Chain A
Amino acid sequence: MPEPDAGVLARRGDIVAALRAIVPGDGVIDHADALRPYESDALTAYRQPPMVVVLPQTVEQVAAILRWCHANRVKVVPRGAGTSLSGGALPLADGVLMGMARFNRILDIDYADRLAVVQPGVTNLAITRAVEDAGFYYAPDPSSQIACTIGGNIAENSGGVHCLKYGLTTNNVLGVELVTIEGEILRLGGRGLEAQGLDLLGVVVGSEGLLGVVTEVTVRLLPKPETARALLIGFPTVESGGKCVADVIAAGIIPAGMEMMDQPAVHAAEAFVNVGYPLDVAALLIVELDGPAAECSHLIDEVEAIALANGAVSIRISTDDAERAAFWAGRKAAFPAAGRLAPDYLCMDGTIPRRCLPEVLTRMRALSERHGLGVINVFHAGDGNLHPLILYDANQPGQLATAEAFGADILRLCVEVGGVLTGEHGVGVEKRDLMPLMFSPADLAQQSHVKSAFDPELLLNPGKVFPLLHRCAELGAMHVHNGKLPFPDLPRF
C-alpha cells in the first residue's frame, strides 16, 4: 500500500474531532482495540488497522464527511460487510474507514414496477427474504449472500452461480444515490429501465469503491421460477465434460447454473459431505434448470441426451428440492473440503474461454508439478470462471511465496488464452500488480482518467485496482490457514 502520510497521521486528533462533529455518539471509533476488527476484509493476508472508523447513518453525514476529507486531503476507504476476497475494503494507516453498516433499511418495495429501494448496508439475502412471500427474489447470489451487503455488491459487481442466466449485479441495478468525494449527492439511474445521458451508473458498478460512496440502491426484482431441477453428470475426461457444456449452450439452452469440478475436487468434497458423488470420474458437472415444470422436464431430457452423446458415465436427475440441494452440497463444500487436504489454500478467480478448459487444466497440472504444490479446481463452467484452490502449508518456509507465484502463473495462463484476471472477486489489492498483463499503459491511463473525473485528488480507496509505481513484492490471494476461513460460517463457492 502507499506509504502513510506522516502529516496526516500527525493530524489524527483533529481528524477524529472533525468526524465527531459530523457523526455524534458512538459513530466514530478511534481506540486501537476497537479498530482491530476492521483491520482486514476476507482477504486476511493483508491487515492494516485504519486511522479511524466512522459509521455514518444519513446521506447528509456521508456528504459532510467526504466534503471535509476532500477539503483536508484525507483518504477514505468505504466498507460494507468486509467480505471482499480481493482486499477491496483493506484500510489505510492514514485513512478514514467509512463503514456503511448503519445504512441497513429497506426503504420501498414496489411490486408493480418490480423493484426494491434499499440502503447499501442491507444484505444481499435480506432483499430476497423481504420479497419472497410475494413470489419475487433478487437474482444475483454471491456465495457470501447471507452477509455481504448490496453496497459491496455494487462496488464489486458481484456474481453468483446463477449469473450466466440472470446476469451480474450490474444487470440487476436500476439506480443508485452516490456521494462524490466532493460531497455532492447525485442520483444515477432511477426507477426506469434506462437513464438519459452517459451511463455513469454502469461505470460506478464494479468500480471497487474508487468513484464514490453509494447511499441508496434500486434493484430489479424477478418473479421466482416455478421449479428448479438439477442433473449430476460424471465424465471420464475433462475434455468430454467441457464438450458437453459447449453442446448444451450450442443447443440453445442457458441453464440457471452449470458447475464443474475436477477429480481432486470431487474426492475432497465427497470425503467432506458424503452426498454420493461418483469417485471414478475425471470431471463432475452439475446442471441446474429452472422455470415451469414442463420446461424443466423437457430440458432435462435434452441435457441428458447431450451428456450421453458426450460419453457421460453417470447421470443422476433430481426428483425433489432435497435431492437437488444434495447435488449442490458437495460443490458448495469444495472450499472447506480443501481445508482438509492441506493446512492452507489460496483461492484464485480467473475467467477463460470455455473451449480452453482442457488446455488450461493440463497446463495447470504442469505448473502444479513445477511449483510442487497441489491444486483442485471448481469451475463456473457456464461462463468460464475458474476457481483453482492452491494447497500449501504456511508453516513450511517458502511455501506461501511459492503458492503466490503459482497463483500468479495461473492468472497469466488465463490471460494468455484470452481470458481475464478476475471473473467475480475484483482486482482490489490482490490482482492490482497483474493489471498490466491485461491492459497496456494506454488502457490503464484511460481508466485512470475516468477515476480522476470522479476523484481528482485520488482520495477514495487509493492503492486498489491500479498498479502502484512502487509495487509491493507480494501477490496475495484468499489465504486460508488450518481450515480457518475468514467468515468461517459463510459458504464460499
Chain B
Amino acid sequence: MLRPAGIDDLCAILAAGGALRLRGGGSKDGIGAETPGATVVDMRGFAGIVDYDPPELVLTVGAATPLAAVQALVAGQGQMLAFDPFDHAAILGGAPGQATIGGVIAAGIAGPARLSRGAARDHLLGFTAVSGRGERFVAGAKVVKNVTGYDLPKLVTGSWGRLVALTELTLKVLPAPRAQQTWVTTGLDPSAAVAAMARALGAPAEVTAAAHLPRWNGAPATAIRLDGFPGSIAARAAMLGPVVAGLTPLDDTAAAALWLAVRTAAPLPAERPLWRIIVPASRAPGVVAAIPNADWLFDWAGGLVWLASDSDAAQVRQAAAAAGGHAMLVRASAAMRAAVPALHPQPAPLAQLESRVRRAFDPDGVFEIGRF
C-alpha cells in the first residue's frame, strides 16, 4: 500500500505506473472484482476543509474528507449536500463512518432525494486531480454557474477511480429544508404504486422523494415526501390528496426509519446478491415481474429498483435492458464478483468510445486493474 502525503507524492506514484487501485475509506471495497495484483493507493492524506462560504453555496474540501464530517459541517450552517449521499457500510458491512466525499463522488452515490434534487454529478462544480499520466490538473471552477471548457466534473463523477485520482472537490451545497413530512398509502400493487407516484410527481407539489416497499410493517407501502417551509408543506400536501388516495402522515421517527431503509435497501435479504437497477420509472413493475422470487423495493418513484435475487446475472441484466435500463451488481460473493462485471456492459461502439475516453486520462492503464 502506498500513502501519498501530498500531491507531488501522488504525481510521482502515478507517473511511475503499475497497476494501482485508488482507495479512500474503503467503504465500497466490496464492489467489483477483487484485484489482488493491484497496489492500493491510500488517498486518506487528502482530507480537510479548504474553503466554505455558506451564502455562496460553495464548499471546497479535500477528497478524503469523511462524508460524515462534510455533512456535519454543512448541517451546522443549515445547509446540505442535496444529492443525499450515504455511507455504503450499511449495504456492504464494515465500520460506518469510513466513507469519504471523494469516494461518494467517484462512485456517483445519491439517495432518495436524487429524484428531485439531482445526482452527485449535478453538484460537483470543480476538482483538482492527478491523471494516470501523473499530471496534476484542475477542471470546472469554484462558482455555481460556469460553462468554461468541457464539463469534466460530470465525467469524473461515477468513474469509479478509472480516470483520475481526485484530491480536492468543489461542491454546490443548498439550504436544508426547514421542515419535512412523509405520507404513506398502503396496499398498492407495483403498477398502481408507480402510477400513484407518477401522478404525485406530475402535480405542482414539488415532491422530494417517492418510494414503494412491497412489505413495510406487513403491507405494501407507498411513501411520498415533501420538504420545505412549514406552511407550504401543508399547501402542497393538499395538492396530493386529489391524485393519491389514502395518504396518511408518518411521524418523524417512522419517516426517518422508512427513508433509511429505502436509501440502503435494508429490507432486502443480505445473503442474496443485490442489484441496483435504473430504468424509466414506468417500466419498474415490468422488471420485477420478469425476475421470479426476487425481493425488491422501488426508490426514485420507480426509477431505481433495488433487487435481491439468486437469479442468473444474465437474466437480471436482460430484464433491465429490455426495460431501457441497466443493472449494477452491488453486493455479491467474491466468486460471483469475479465472474460478473459490476457495471452493466455497454454496446460495443459505446464501449470503444468509453475506452478511448479512459485512455485520454490514463494512457497506460494504471487504473485498469480488472475491478470493473
A418-B149 contact given A193-B300, A295-B231, A453-B353, CB 8 Å threshold: no
For A383, what are the chain B residues with a Cβ–Cβ distance below 8 Å? 143-145
A135-B202 contact given A192-B279, A351-B146, CB 8 Å threshold: yes
A446's partner among B202, B229, B353, B361 (CB-CB below 8 A) is B361
Q: Is A282 an interface residue (CB 8 A)?
A: no
Q: A438 contacts B141, CB within 8 Å?
A: yes
Q: A424 contacts B360, CB within 8 Å?
A: no
**Chain A: number of interface residues, binned into ranges:** 35 or more
Q: Is A17 an interface residue (CB 8 A)?
A: no
Q: Is A55 an interface residue (CB 8 A)?
A: no
A interface list, Cβ under 8 A from B: 110-115, 135-136, 156-157, 159, 163-164, 167-168, 170-171, 180, 184-188, 190-203, 205-207, 223-226, 246-247, 249-254, 291-295, 298-299, 351-355, 380, 383-385, 418-427, 431, 435, 438-440, 442-447, 449-454, 465
Q: B239 contacts A292, CB within 8 Å?
A: yes
A384 to B312, CA, bound (A): 52
Q: B204 contacts A168, CB within 8 Å?
A: no
A292's partner among B122, B145, B147, B232 (CB-CB below 8 A) is B232
Q: A420 contacts B143, CB within 8 Å?
A: yes
A196-B280 contact given A202-B121, A351-B146, A465-B149, CB 8 Å threshold: no
Residue of chain B at shortest CB distance from A383:
B145
Interface positions of B from 101 to 156, Cβ below 8 Å from A = 108, 114-115, 118-119, 121-122, 131, 135-139, 141-155
**Chain A: minimal CB distance from B134 (Å):** 11
Q: B354 contacts A114, CB within 8 Å?
A: no
A95 to B54, CA, bound (A): 48
0 or 1 for each of B13-29: is its CB under 8 Å from A? (1 = yes)? 00000000000000000
0 or 1 for each of B154-173: is its CB under 8 Å from A? (1 = yes)? 11011100110000000000
A198-B145 contact given A292-B235, A440-B137, A446-B152, CB 8 Å threshold: no
A150 to B139, CA, bound (A): 25
For A295, what are the chain B residues with a Cβ–Cβ distance below 8 Å? 228-229, 231-232, 235-236
B55's partner among A247, A380, A427, A442 (CB-CB below 8 A) is A247
For A420, what are the chain B residues with a Cβ–Cβ distance below 8 Å? 141, 143, 146, 148
Q: Is B66 an interface residue (CB 8 A)?
A: no
For A112, what are the chain B residues with a Cβ–Cβ distance below 8 Å? 195, 198, 281-282
Q: B145 contacts A252, CB within 8 Å?
A: no
Q: A196 contacts B343, CB within 8 Å?
A: yes
**Chain A: minimal CB distance from B159 (Å):** 6
A423 to B136, CA, bound (A): 25
Q: A168 contacts B145, CB within 8 Å?
A: yes
B151's partner among A170, A246, A439 (CB-CB below 8 A) is A170
For B56, what are the chain A residues with a Cβ–Cβ distance below 8 Å? 246, 353-355, 384
Q: A293 contacts B135, CB within 8 Å?
A: no
**Chain B: minimal CB distance from A347 (Å):** 15
Residue of chain B at shortest CB distance from A242:
B55
A199-B159, A442-B137 are known; give 9 further A-B pairs, CB within 8 A: A110-B280, A194-B119, A200-B155, A291-B206, A293-B235, A427-B147, A444-B149, A453-B357, A454-B356
A114 to B303, CA, bound (A): 12
Q: B119 contacts A193, CB within 8 Å?
A: yes
Sample 10 A-B pairs with CB under 8 A, ordered by A number. Answer: A157-B147, A197-B346, A199-B154, A223-B205, A249-B57, A252-B78, A294-B231, A383-B144, A423-B145, A444-B149
A402 to B164, CA, bound (A): 42
Q: B158 contacts A199, CB within 8 Å?
A: yes
A252-B149 contact given A194-B119, A353-B142, CB 8 Å threshold: no
B149's partner among A114, A226, A298, A439 (CB-CB below 8 A) is A439
**Chain A: minimal CB distance from B229 (Å):** 6
Q: B122 contacts A419, CB within 8 Å?
A: no
For B178, what are the chain A residues with a Cβ–Cβ distance below 8 Å? 252
For B344, what are the chain A residues with a Cβ–Cβ distance below 8 Å? 196-197
Residue of chain B at shortest CB distance from A171:
B122
Q: A196 contacts B328, CB within 8 Å?
A: yes
B side interface size, CB within 8 A: 86
A157 to B153, CA, bound (A): 14
B interface list, Cβ under 8 A from A: 53-58, 78, 108, 114-115, 118-119, 121-122, 131, 135-139, 141-155, 157-159, 162-163, 174-178, 195, 198, 201-206, 228-229, 231-232, 234-236, 239, 278-282, 300, 303-304, 324-326, 328, 343-344, 346, 349-350, 353-354, 356-361
Q: Sorted from nearest, which 4 A-B pairs have the closest CB atoms?
A: A202-B154, A295-B232, A252-B175, A449-B360
A443 to B47, CA, bound (A): 23
A384-B143 contact given A171-B122, A446-B131, CB 8 Å threshold: yes
Q: B119 contacts A446, CB within 8 Å?
A: no
**Chain B: minimal CB distance from A475 (Å):** 15
A223 to B203, CA, bound (A): 6
Q: B144 contacts A203, CB within 8 Å?
A: no
Q: B150 contacts A299, CB within 8 Å?
A: no
**Chain A: minimal CB distance from B63 (Å):** 17
A198-B122 contact given A157-B147, A295-B231, A353-B53, CB 8 Å threshold: no
For B280, what are the chain A residues with a Cβ–Cβ distance below 8 Å? 110, 113, 115, 190-192
Q: A424 contacts B349, CB within 8 Å?
A: no
For B232, what are the chain A residues with a Cβ–Cβ distance below 8 Å? 291-292, 294-295, 298
For A254, what are the chain B residues with a Cβ–Cβ distance below 8 Å? 174-175
**Chain A: minimal CB distance from B342 (Å):** 10
A440 to B128, CA, bound (A): 12
A124 to B135, CA, bound (A): 40
A291 to B206, CA, bound (A): 8
A424-B147 contact given A196-B278, A252-B78, A453-B353, CB 8 Å threshold: yes
Q: A171 contacts B118, CB within 8 Å?
A: yes
A170 to B145, CA, bound (A): 12
For B353, what are the chain A residues with a Cβ–Cβ distance below 8 Å? 180, 184, 186, 200, 453-454
A52 to B89, CA, bound (A): 59
B303's partner among A180, A193, A445 (CB-CB below 8 A) is A193
For A223, what are the chain B residues with a Cβ–Cβ distance below 8 Å? 201-205
A424-B145 contact given A135-B202, A193-B304, A443-B137, CB 8 Å threshold: yes
A452 to B115, CA, bound (A): 34
Q: A442 contacts B155, CB within 8 Å?
A: no
A226-B148 contact given A186-B350, A192-B303, CB 8 Å threshold: no
For B53, what are the chain A residues with a Cβ–Cβ distance below 8 Å? 353, 355
Q: B349 contacts A186, CB within 8 Å?
A: yes
